[in-house]
Structure formats: C-alpha cells, structure tokens
Amino acid sequence: MNASPDPTPSEPHEMPTSAEKTTTDSAPDSDAVFDGPRSIAPVTQLSTRGLFLALAAVCLFPLITLSAYAVIFGKASEHKLPVSVIIDRRPLPTQDGTKRLLEDVIVIENEADFEIPNVTVNLNGQYFLYQDKPLAVGEELVVRQAAFATKSNQRWVPGRYRLDEITVTGKLPSGARGVTEIQY
C-alpha cells in the first residue's frame, strides 16, 4: 500500500482543528465587505469639459450681469450733484454763544434750482456727516471739520490729517443719487 500525503476521494475527509476553524470563519468574504449597495437608478457623470463650462458660467454670469447693469444704468458718480465745496476758516460762535472762534470748516452751497435732501459729506472716505434737513436752493451749509467722525465715532482733528478728498452725495429729483467728488 502506497502511503500518499494527498487525500483521495476514497479516503475519509478530515475535520479541521479548532485553530483552523476560527481563522477560516473569522475572515469575512472580501466581496461582501467592499461592495456598496447596488443602485438601479442611472448615474449621470460630468466630464472635465462640462465641469469647466459649469464653473465658468457660475463665475462669469454675475460679472456679465453687473457689467451690463453698469453700462445701462450708469454709475452713481455719473450723476453730478450741483453743489460747490470750499475748505475755509471762519469765525463760528462757541457753544455758549458769547464768543466767536476761528475754525476750519467745509462750506457746501446748493447751486441747483431744487432742494437737495439726504446730503452726506465724507472726508477722505472715512469721516462722515449726514445732514437730515434738505439743502434749500442757494443755501450754504457751513460745517466744522471737527464735526466729522468715523463709524467707530473717532473725530476728525483739523490739521492732524491731510485732507485729500471730499465727497458730497445727495438725492436728485429723479430719485438717483448725485455725487460730487473733490480731490486735493
């Protein structure tokens, strides 16, 4: 009789030992672990060219829209506000009214034949003043430079800073905002 190490179909099959059984049973089926749930719905895919065109459309659409709006309706600075602006020093009364002190002022005069409501003045784009009362025809508005303040309520100190730009805005009769910019 020939003793061969390989089992033959005529020989009885051996049962695996307990150590072999645990390694075989604990290893999960690799196909079952890595397969996701199957979907029956069709999946659309975006090509790189399609992605580029979609991103370009999302970026360019607002720019084109805003550019067309600016061309059709124009900028606010295209509507000139008919006022004259002068930097001056004038004697103004003190708070108690007993004396007059020479102070640095901004003088804004309405040169239009209509009153201008919502007058806003800013110095160097940072220091603001809002005039609640409309500027009447031919009226002259004299404002102390010390009255201007930032949004965080820091006051303009005349002589400490260089005055480079004065911008005056107001509402025109058409409803548009008129702007006058003075550069120094």
Residue-range domains of the chain with CATH: 83-183 (2.60.40)
Specify the pLDDT at position 170: 93
Q: What is the H or E stretch that residue 30 is in?
A: helix 30-34
Q: What are residue 123's phi and psi, to 5 degrees?
A: -105, 125
Residue 40 confidence (pLDDT) above 80? no
Spatial neighbors of 104 by CB under 8 A, at least 6 apart, are: 87, 88, 89, 144, 145, 146, 158, 159
In sequence order, what DSSP letters do the residues of 46-69 get, joined into one string? --HHHHHHHHHHHHHHHHHHHHHH
The per-residue pLDDT for range 117-174, each reduced to its tens digit, is 999 999 999 999 998 899 999 999 999 999 999 999 999 998 888 899 999 999 999 8
Look at 114 and 11; give whichever has higher pLDDT.
114
Grade residue 43 by pLDDT with cuts at 50, 70 and 90.
Answer: confident
* Radius of gyration of the chain, Cα coordinates, nearest whole angstrom: 41
11-48 CB burial, b ≥16 within 10 A, e <16: eeeeeeeeeeeeeeeeeeeeeeeeeeeeeeeeeeeeee
CA atoms 129, 81, 181, 176: torsion sign:
positive
The per-residue pLDDT for range 47-61, each reduced to its tens digit, is 999 999 999 999 999
Tell me whether residue 148 is exposed, middle or buried, using C-beta atoms within 10 angstroms of its C-beta: 0 to 12, 13 to 18, 19 or more. buried
Instruction: Look at residue 20 and give its three-state secondary structure.
Output: helix
Q: What are residue 71's phi and psi, to 5 degrees?
A: -70, -45
Specify the pLDDT at position 105: 93
Instruction: Name the DSSP class of 19.
Output: H
Residue 35 confidence (pLDDT) above 80? no
What average pLDDT does this structure show over 86-91?
Answer: 91
| Ranges 88-97, 101-110, 140-149: which has the least confidence | 88-97
